Amino acid sequence: MIKKIIVALYEGEVNVVAHSYGGTIECDITKDRVELIIADTGPGIPNLEKAMTEGFSTATDEVREMGFGAGMGLSNIKKNSDSLDIQTAQDSPTILRLTFLIS
Ligand SMILES: Nc1ncnc2c1ncn2[C@@H]1O[C@H](COP(=O)(O)OP(=O)(O)OP(=O)(O)O)[C@@H](O)[C@H]1O
Ligand SMILES: [Mg+2]
């Protein structure tokens, strides 16, 4: 479970650095679940369905040179979390809410 949280958190964090103006990460832990809220200040994702597709990426050359931009981050977050909710739109913040159940 820790590995899943680390992978999802890492992918979310890289997305904030690579694709957004900056943001914050909040972590809330109860005895039943771990919740992560990764929130940035924009520019948002215009087409979320496309962005969730494996292999789709708008990463810049600069980001690709650092080894990112395979277009696998969002699908990895989805695979590794028990629930994923994304609020986003063009010219808006992006807010990811990830839940990991402690069983
Ligand atoms: N926080 C964000 N703000 C704006 N756009 C985003 C954000 N996160 C993802 N995106 C958009 O969704 C696309 C897909 O994201 P995803 O994490 O799956 O791949 P990637 O970041 O391009 O490459 P990888 O994660 O494999 O290094 C990004 O290329 C970008 O267009
Ligand atoms: Mg990514």
Higher-scoring residue by pLDDT: 103, 50: 50
Atom nearest to 57 CA in ligand 1:
29
Q: Could you report the per-residue pLDDT of 69-89, keeping only the tens digit for each?
A: 999 999 999 999 999 999 999
Q: Which of 11, 13, 17, 19 to mutate to test the pocket of ligand 1 (most atoms within 8 A of CB)?
A: 19
pLDDT > 90 in the chain, percent: 99
* CB proximity list for 99: less than 8 A, separation 6 or greater: 33, 34, 35, 81, 82, 83, 84
Overall pTM surpassing 0.85 (yes/no): yes
- Does 54 score more than 90 pLDDT? yes
Digit-coded pLDDT (tens) for 5-30: 999 999 999 999 999 999 999 999 99
- Do 33 and 100 touch, CB atoms closer than 8 A? yes
**pLDDT number for residue 103:** 86
Q: What integer is the mean pLDDT of 29-35?
A: 97
